[in-house]
Structure 1
Amino acid sequence: MIGISEIETAAGRIAGHVVRTPTVPSPGLSELLGVPVTAKLELLQHTGSFKARGATAKLLSLGEAERAAGVVAVSGGNHGIAVAVMAAALDVKATIVMPRSAPARAVEIAEASGASVRLTDDMDGAFALMTRLQQEGLTLVHPFDDPVVIAGQGTVGLEFAADAGELTDVLVSIGGGALISGVAAALRALRPGVRIWGVETEGAQAMSEALAAGGPLPVALSSIVSTLSAPAVSQLTYDHVSALVTEVLVVPDREAVRGSLELAEHAKVWAEPAAGCLLPAARQVRERVGDGARLGLVVCGGNATTGDMIAWSRRFGLR
């Protein structure tokens, strides 16, 4: 299990390389949900998501031989962008493996950063190719099954605990589970009374299915939210969530897209559906907790184009 000391070490390591993103009360979301809401704006991070933290922590931990070999990462979008951009900044050669369903913008940014991008038919194929490239000698920067990466993502929770006012409940999106594992570890140490809720989209339910089964297992992926679409969580992230997280809530893709539109309208931030899914989940938490709720939202990323949002809105009949 990752502890606060590992997270504080990661914070010191990545300081100067990543942004200490704003933690702000949101009057618009507070009015919308009927209770005070504070947002941690990780979409303002380098590369548009929290992923820069874990990628930077891992890259800075590598020895000379590991750096010289070059790194490989698998991603539904944001982790690939982060590894490509931060590797270029640190003069490390990167290969990024993504499914063809990954956002075109993610592929473009990774390639523009100088990374070699390899596309596969689906996420299962992307993880398989990642494993082969690692076996061929590239250094793996795993999106979630790595304690250094989890500690890096945990710096989000370290900052949230220091900068937010009173909180009763914090909501965090889940893909492979590194972000919520790190945030939960930090908050449990620094704000032990706060409940942590995970949020997934239907068709990207690797953590909730693992919790129901008693351990990680492969899941079928069908969500439009590629940045949350891990084919399985790891034992490491499962252990953290099962021990530290109150519950994992699952919301439909349509409501995640609606949440992104509501974040734009009410919070004035441009968030991808991986963050938009927090709003329908926040409504569930608010109903269960009651009027005394003080909600914190980790707005994890903003790497959706206007074209993406228009297409999804039309698909689901949203305005």
Structure 2
Amino acid sequence: MVPDLISLDHIAAAADRIAGHVLHTPTVPSPGLGAHLGVPVTCKLELLQRTGSFKPRGAVHKLLGLTDAERAAGVVGVSGGNHGVALADAASTLGVAATIVMPEAAPQRSVAAARAAGAEVRLTPDMAGAFALLDELVAAGRTLVHPFDDPVVIAGQGTVGLELAADAPDVTDVLVSIGGGGLIAGVAAAVRACRPDVRVWGVETEGADAMSRALAAGAPVPTTPSSIVTTLSAPRVSELTLAHVAELVEDVIVVPDGDAVRGSLTLAEEAKVWAEPAAGCLVPAAHQVLDRVGPDARLGLVLCGGNVTATDVAGWVQRFAATPFPARVPVG
């Protein structure tokens, strides 16, 4: 049975519930990216959200809906970085004990931030092990706050799309990064409900392509993430997120890690924002989208997070010999 999709009413209710707990982030035109790509570009700056990514939207929405017993049991979440930090922060603000399970490859900055917010952090050798430990802790009585396989969390993430549709009504194509698929599920549900003519495109990196594999197989399949982009490295998507992508998303584009790093450098130079490769991957994907839809497009990029250190970026630049992408069309 195909899961029910999130409705616009669910997302609007989530927006009301989390108002005052999260930011309505800026939606701004980027003249630099527009010149670079040769078409108008609008950026949704979720990297300016609390904790540096979109993740507090879903985490706060979930926590605010818990029963007293669920709160008292303490919450647990699994994360490659951003969901863990957001859940730790939201739980601290709302007075709920939190345990965060992360793979050892998670950014040390994220591990430290979750601990600084008061959460217990449990590290495992890899993401598959993190999900296995998560299941153990839930079975022991902790309250699960899943990073993507939860309609309440997806409705919270969908508020990104609700704001984007209201603040940038002229976009024709919206690009969204995919890890487990919670963000794109919510954004696509909101944007397509408000603007059925808008095309939504998903973007993954090689080695963090669980959604592409699920679409090809017609069902979620286990994967072994190998991408440097740990914040997109879900070992599988869910039936719920897959259903949203299959129904509402034009296509999912997969780009190499090196191109995601080049995209982050391009965003720094052209859009003047500090974005992690999970957002940087949208830049090479935008070139591919324009090859397919033509020069009349008006792009909306959801810049999902900015939690990356200068040391991380310097290491990746050296590893991939990365430089910013050249402009699509001559400038001037």
Both proteins in one fold, TM over 0.5? yes
Which residue in 2 is equivalent to 1:214?
Answer: 218
Percent identity for Structure 1 against Structure 2: 70
How far apart, CA to CA, are the structure 2 residues paired with 1:220 and 1:44?
Answer: 30
Q: Deviations over 1:226-282 (max 9, x none)?
A: 000000000000000000000000000000000001000000000000000000000
Match of 1:245 among 242, 249, 268: 249
Q: CA deviation at 1:9?
A: 0.6
Match of 2:9 among 5, 9, 15: 5
Is 1:128 equivalent to 2:128 in the alignment? no
Is 1:73 equivalent to 2:77 in the alignment? yes
How far apart, CA to CA, are the structure 2 residues paired with 1:307 and 1:111?
Answer: 21
Which residue in 1 is equivalent to 2:52?
Answer: 48
Which residue in 1 is equivalent to 2:326?
Answer: none
How far apart, CA to CA, are the structure 2 residues paired with 1:287 and 1:25?
Answer: 21
Match of 2:22 among 18, 29, 32: 18
Which residue in 2 is equivalent to 1:268?
Answer: 272
How far apart, CA to CA, are the structure 2 residues paired with 1:112 and 1:211?
Answer: 38
2:316 partner SS: helix
Paired residues for 1:105-254 under 5 Å: 105-254=109-258
How far apart, CA to CA, are the structure 2 residues paired with 1:46 and 1:208?
Answer: 29
Which residue in 2 is equivalent to 1:104?
Answer: 108
1:249 partner SS: strand
Q: CA deviation at 1:219?
A: 1.1
Q: CA deviation at 1:288?
A: 1.1
2:143 partner amino acid: T
2:25 partner amino acid: T
Any stretches of 5+ residues in structure 2 without a counterpart?
324-332
Aligned length, in residue pairs: 319
How far apart, CA to CA, are the structure 1 residues paired with 2:115 and 2:225?
Answer: 26
Q: CA RMSD in A?
A: 0.5
How far apart, CA to CA, are the structure 1 residues paired with 2:150 and 2:225?
Answer: 22
TM-score normalised to structure 1 length: 0.99
Which residue in 1 is equivalent to 2:327?
Answer: none
How far apart, CA to CA, are the structure 1 residues paired with 2:115 and 2:187?
Answer: 30
Moved over 3 A (4+): none
Any stretches of 5+ residues in structure 1 without a counterpart?
none
How far apart, CA to CA, are the structure 1 residues paired with 2:131 and 2:173?
Answer: 33
How far apart, CA to CA, are the structure 2 residues paired with 1:186 and 1:113?
Answer: 31
1:196 partner SS: strand
Is 1:33 equivalent to 2:37 in the alignment? yes
